[in-house]
Amino acid sequence: MATITYSPAYTLVPTYECFNHCSYCNFRVHPGGDEWLSLEQAQSQLASLEAIEILILSGEVHPQSQRRSAWVNRIYELCQLALTAGFLTHTNAGPLSFEEMTQLKQVNVSMGLMLEQLTPALLHSVHRHAPSKRPTVRLQQLHWAGQLRIPFTTGLLLGIGEAATDWEETLVAIATLHHQYGHIQEVILQPHQPGQRQQQLAPACDDSLLLKAVELARRILPSDIAIQIPPNLVHAPALLIACLDAGASDLGGIGPLDEVNPTYPHQTLADLTSLLEAHNYTLIPRLPIYEHYDHWLPQSLQKKVQLWRTRLDLHTLNVF
């Protein structure tokens, strides 16, 4: 049976506030409209938690804000807290400076940023109030991640007004960067699904588009980049299986809540396992860093990663 992976994950949100205002967002609140997550609150959430990965997922504080440094430091402290508690950390907090990425590299086993789409046309529609969604800004982040040897996850958001030809441009850009640096672990293909909190309701991504995107991504991307599909955003079981048949191999982080779009809860692992087994796939847990990147990490993080690899190898994670 072919193997499909997922990450047993839990999400910590330093803040939901964001200076961007994407019309499809189900996550943000206005700047100043949210109280930042305290270390005490985070400690309480991490207590007795069954997970491997702690995803630090944050709204964005403006780069020129006087609170920017405090925000990055809070993310750093949350990562330290999660690592001390025995988890592995992955941060996705929007575009960061080279210096901010250098700082956070010390407390993350991997990081991420969605490219979404590189077409500038979206700057006049869904991204017209989202300065950090400029394609050059997000591409720069992937360049810096490669230069800093950070294992990285990126991806495409599908069905937000782009054309299918735009997918190819974005996928080729990812492949080109990976050929240069070898740092892209996964590419997420995330179908837009309208949520209850977004500003402008828009149609869901058509099922046939998602399958075409998987097929195109598998043709363009190097074979060592995994294609990830969020199963809670795929309503038809047959479509999820078709995506796996077409080359997707990972289901991403699965935990109590999808913070990006809470309208769509994750399926239970038992249901996903049964569905996949009925189609000759085996679902297994993984770490938020792929093994061939372990040597990129500082020694302190390598030791923590190796402890988890040993636990997985010994099949002691029956809770997952």
Residue 232 lies in a domain: yes
Residue 319 lies in a domain: no
Round the average pLDDT of the chain to a whole number and report it: 94
CATH number of the domain to which 244 belongs = 3.20.20.70
Distance CA 252, CA 75 (A): 21
Residue 246 lies in a domain: yes
CA dihedral over 18, 57, 33, 191, signed as positive or negative: positive
Residue 75 lies in a domain: yes
Residue 289 has pLDDT above 70, yes or no: yes
Average pLDDT of the residues in 161-179: 95
Q: What is the pLDDT of residues 126-143, one digit of tens each?
A: 999 999 999 999 999 999
How far from 69 is each of 15, 64, 65, CA to CA, in Å? 14, 10, 8
Residue 318 lies in a domain: no
Residue scoring higher pLDDT (217 or 33): 217
- Its domain, for residue 269, covers 2-313
Q: Residue 164's pLDDT band (boundaries 50, 70, 90)?
A: confident
Average pLDDT of the residues in 6-23: 95
Got the DSSP string for 227-288?
A: EE--GGG---HHHHHHHHHTT--EEEEE-S--SS-TTSPPPPHHHHHHHHHTTTEEEEE--S
Q: What is the pLDDT of residues 243-283, one digit of tens each?
A: 999 999 999 999 988 898 888 999 999 999 999 999 999 99
Residue 319 has pLDDT above 60, yes or no: no
pLDDT for position 204: 83
How many domains is the chain built from? Answer: 1
Instruction: Please tell me the pTM assigned to this model.
Output: 0.95
Residue 280 lies in a domain: yes
Residue 167 has pLDDT above 70, yes or no: yes
Residue 173 lies in a domain: yes
Average pLDDT of the residues in 81-89: 98
